[in-house]
Chains A and B, each alone.
Chain A
């Protein structure tokens, strides 16, 4: 069965960077996009960008351009999202989600990775 397993929670200081991982299994990693979505405490879902694991090309939401980088290691079927220059309002649960671009939807989601930014 398809699974996206994310790394655990962590605390970061303002100005630091965080790199979140997302390990895929149960399907061919390079066949589907990986999207990243975040959710601040008590707030809604916010799309950050997507990556094509086969070619490594990416597209980022305008809000995060310049601060986010999405990469992958196909040898271990793992996608990464790095966010730099962290601010207090970057505190959120960060989800990876498998995307089906043809139908513009996300059919499987990781369990989420809580990043707390605190001084």
Chain B
């Protein structure tokens, strides 16, 4: 089994930068994806292949992945960005999700 660890919560003021980390063994050599999930809704892909944004995802979402840590950065955070965020990676023929981080916009 492959473990991906995220901080349970991150708080950010509107307009500031939120940083969510995802730690896993040798994660930098795998593709990391990130999903946003709002209450009562299905997850939405916000980043894939570490840094790529799907069509329709705002430029304020960016990512990096190196060593054992992948990072999701939300620049100029807006109230609509308040949600749970999950990282994901593939290892030994299986997908694994991170433990999830609740981003609160205060």
Partner of A104, one of B44, B90, B99: B90
Instruction: Give the B interface residue count (CB, 8 A).
Output: 26
Q: For the complex, what is the distance from the CA of A50 to the CA of B45, rounded to whole Å?
A: 18
Asked whether any CB of chain B lies closer than 8 Å to the CB of A80, the reply is no
Contacts of B42 in A (CB 8 A): 95, 109-112
Partner of B97, one of A44, A50, A109, A112: A44
* B52 to chain A: closest residue by CB: A103
Instruction: Give the A interface residue count (CB, 8 A).
Output: 22
* Contact (Cβ within 8 A) B33 A105: yes
Task: Provide 15 A-B residue pairs closer than 8 Å at the C-beta atoms, listed in order of the A residue.
Answer: A37-B43, A37-B97, A44-B86, A45-B86, A45-B88, A45-B97, A45-B100, A62-B94, A103-B52, A104-B48, A104-B88, A105-B45, A105-B49, A105-B88, A106-B88
